[in-house]
Structure 1
Amino acid sequence: MKRLHRLTAILVKLQSKKVVQAAELANKFEVSLRTIYRDMQALTDAGVPIGAEAGTGYYLVDGYSLPPVMFTEKEANALLTASKIIKTNNDQSLINEYQEAIDKVIAVLKSTQKEKLKILEERVFTYNTIVARTSTSLSVIQQAITDFRVLEIQYTKASGEYSKRLIEPLGVYFTNNTWIMIAHCRLRKDYREFRTDRILNLIETQELFSPKHFSLEDYYKKRAEECNFSTFPKEKYY
């Protein structure tokens, strides 16, 4: 990779994360730490306000913004292909949000790139299995996970039983064409899993819950031990 391209990529990386370690950049671009140090100095000399903390890493000073990101044809093609895959999932909110993102990507492309992308769109196909139920709540759930916001849901269990409960959303995963939300249920006072396509109504409350240390890997490792599974545990939604 040429140095100019690497410097641009480093800027994008700095904008995408709060703190970036020099070792992480060196591994990504397959260069030495000394080269990364020189690159950082070059960016600083060019007027980019980069801060550094010993033992932590580099960061962009608050208030600094980069010019609009330009995409290569291969990057745009990858995003378009991903959008085709996204459309096969059963949550309409995710489809809508991703399409808006793709529209923004297309808006910054050159005319020749847009023409090529249109050709590719017509020649990439993904099979969409028809599902009995669809959901529309994934975007709200994802936002609630990062905002630590309590949600109120009206939910139908597999038995057909209806319930209303307050939950603290912690994570989501996709399996068998269905999105599953992991949450701490205040009704049951324990972790529970909820199929998003069984959520009849979802309300964002004004209440915030205290951030919890939660790891999907640890969660499923514990479930595997409880259920004596040697592989990924079966679904445990309600």
Structure 2
Amino acid sequence: MNKTERMLAIVIELQRKGILRAEDLAGRFETSIRTIYRDMQALSEMGVPVAGAPGIGYSLMAGYFLPPVSFTAEEAMALLVGADFVELRLDAEYGSSARSSQEKIEAILPESVREETARLRSAIRLLNDRAGRTRGEEKETFELLRRAIVQKRKIRFRYSKNLPDTDGNRHSERTADPYGLVFSQGAWMLVAFCGLRQDVRHFRLSRMNELVVLEQSFEVLPGFNLRDRRPADDRNVIVKMLVDPAVADLVQGADNFYMESFEPGEGGWLATFRVRRIEELLQWTLGWGAAVRVLEPESLRDRMRAEIENMRKRY
């Protein structure tokens, strides 16, 4: 980044954040504090109304606004592809806003940049691999949840779990305070305070049914920050499998969420997993047939034998 680019970027940072110390700007642009002092002097000489207060930092005079800056082809492409993602994955209202923002961005691009951006965008395509009906239902759920989050209103829904609980139930009715939405590993998750569990939990939107936004309002727990939120990792069961070299690339490419390591071993590749319950790997392991052999725990080996025997009886 040359001096001119850095000075422009400094003005944009001050416009975005209000007040910044020289130390903050030096760290942001990976330069010395003395260089920042010289940049500020140069900006003042150019007529940019920069105000500096000892011990507080630099800011722009009230009312000053930097006119819109031009985009490079790469910057424009990043924004337009991001809008494509919003239109594809979010609800209809955001989809409409995404299309509108794309039109505005394209309208201000110089012709040469617009042509280059179009060429770059043609090399990237976002696909939604879900069936149309499911996609539509999930978008409707997303829209309801987004409105409930903004309005701070409680929700009620029926939730389908991946595995049955100890009572054999796979469905439960929940009342929750919706805190936020997170896109993780190709799926949308709701982060909410669950009234049933009396704790903050994560719910997959694809497993939520009969969603109703209630009139009752809620307050977010003190100190809660969605950006800092990480789901508790209670996967305490270690599973080890030996993978035939003939399918090693396929197994590794399957990118199983529970896989911790995949290393060469004696007679094949050693795959190590961490799960909550062995049932989480049962069907996946059966799908590889004799090419994958469970080494431990013995409980999963027993389940595999039982499933294979049941399959043999059916055939």
TM-score by length of 2: 0.56
- What SS class does the counterpart of residue 64 from structure 2 fall into? coil
Cα 1:213–1:229 shift into 2, 3 Å: farther
2:200 aligns with: 191
Any idea what the Cα deviations from partners look like across 1:27-73, whole Å, max 9, x if unmatched?
A: 34332111112212333444434455555543445543221232112
* In structure 2, distance between residues paired with 1:49 and 1:142: 40
* In structure 2, distance between residues paired with 1:17 and 1:189: 37
* Structure 1 residue runs without a partner (length 5+): none
2:222 aligns with: 212
* In structure 2, distance between residues paired with 1:65 and 1:208: 38
Identity percentage of aligned residues = 31
* Larger relative contact order (Cα-Cα within 8 Å, sequence gap ≥ 6): 1
Cα 1:228–1:53 shift into 2, 3 Å: farther
1:5 is displaced (CA, Å) by 1.7
- The structure with the largest alpha-carbon Rg is 2
TM-score by length of 1: 0.71
Cα 1:162–1:168 shift into 2, 3 Å: closer
* In structure 1, distance between residues paired with 2:6 and 2:36: 10
1:216 is displaced (CA, Å) by 5.3
Q: Which amino acid aligns with 1:220?
A: R
- What SS class does the counterpart of residue 15 from structure 1 fall into? helix
Any idea what the Cα deviations from partners look like across 1:124-152, whole Å, max 9, x if unmatched?
A: 2234312534224657866876x6x5123
1:18 is displaced (CA, Å) by 4.2
1:116 aligns with: 116
Tell me the matched-pair count.
229
Root mean square deviation of aligned Cα: 4.0
* In structure 2, distance between residues paired with 1:78 and 1:161: 41
* In structure 2, distance between residues paired with 1:128 and 1:234: 28
Any idea what the Cα deviations from partners look like across 1:160-214, whole Å, max 9, x if unmatched?
A: 5455x35151x43222422112122456532122333436556596957367323
Query: Pairwise mapping of residues 64-213 of structure 1 onto structure 2 (< 5 A)?
Result: 64-86=64-86, 89=89, 95-131=95-131, 132-133=134-135, 134-136=138-140, 138=142, 149-158=151-160, 159-163=170-174, 165-169=175-179, 171-186=180-195, 188-197=197-206, 198=208, 200-201=210-211, 203=213, 207=217, 209=219, 212-213=222-223
1:8 is displaced (CA, Å) by 1.0
* Structure 2 residue runs without a partner (length 5+): 161-169, 239-257, 261-273, 277-315
